[in-house]
């Protein structure tokens, strides 16, 4: 009976460890901009973790940095550029993993750029179809 209980405890521990690893390795950062005279770039941390040392660079070197962005927090950056045609986002996750994302192309009003880290900490950039000119 004790062997069965020990195996169940070990199996439960393994499952919890695997689930925690997937949650820790999954991070999403969402950046959006609107196409007014001054462009606003919104950076939203949609994870349960803090991200830090975030640098957002757009167009020809305009840059903004954020030391820490908490879980589900957001920050807006304003640019005097009428349109954003290139954007790079770099930073570090709470667990110390570096992430980077690159977007290139003229975007229209209310375009959303999703920058995600999958469970392997690989960055994926997703822009909904129809939002790029």
pLDDT at 57: 84
* Residue 105 in domain: yes
pLDDT at 104: 76
CATH number of domain containing 99: 2.60.40.2890
Tokens coding 46: 């949609």
Number of domains in the chain: 1
pTM of the complete model: 0.61
Task: Give me the residues of the chain with pLDDT under 70, please.
Answer: 1-40, 46, 48, 79-82, 106-133
* Residue 131 in domain: no
User: Which residues in 1-133 belong to E strands, given as ranges?
Assistant: 27-34, 39-45, 51-58, 62-69, 74-79, 86-93, 98-104, 111-117, 123-126
pLDDT at 67: 92
pLDDT at 121: 55
Tokens coding 107: 């975007």
The whole domain housing 31 covers: 27-126
pLDDT at 118: 62
């Amino acid at each position: 009976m004790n062997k069965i209980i020990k195996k169940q405890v070990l199996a439960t521990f393994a499952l919890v460890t695997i689930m925690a690893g997937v949650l820790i390795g999954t991070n999403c950062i969402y950046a959006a901009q609107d196409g007014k005279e001054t462009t606003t770039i919104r950076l939203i941390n949609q994870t349960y973790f803090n991200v830090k040392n975030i640098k957002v660079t757009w167009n020809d070197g305009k840059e903004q940095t954020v030391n820490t962005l908490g879980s589900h927090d957001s920050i807006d950056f304003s640019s005097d550029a009428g349109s954003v045609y290139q954007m790079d986002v770099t930073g570090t996750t709470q667990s110390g993993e570096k992430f980077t994302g690159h977007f290139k192309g003229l975007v229209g009003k209310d375009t959303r750029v999703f920058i995600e880290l999958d469970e392997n900490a690989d960055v994926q950039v997703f822009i909904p179809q129809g939002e790029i000119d």
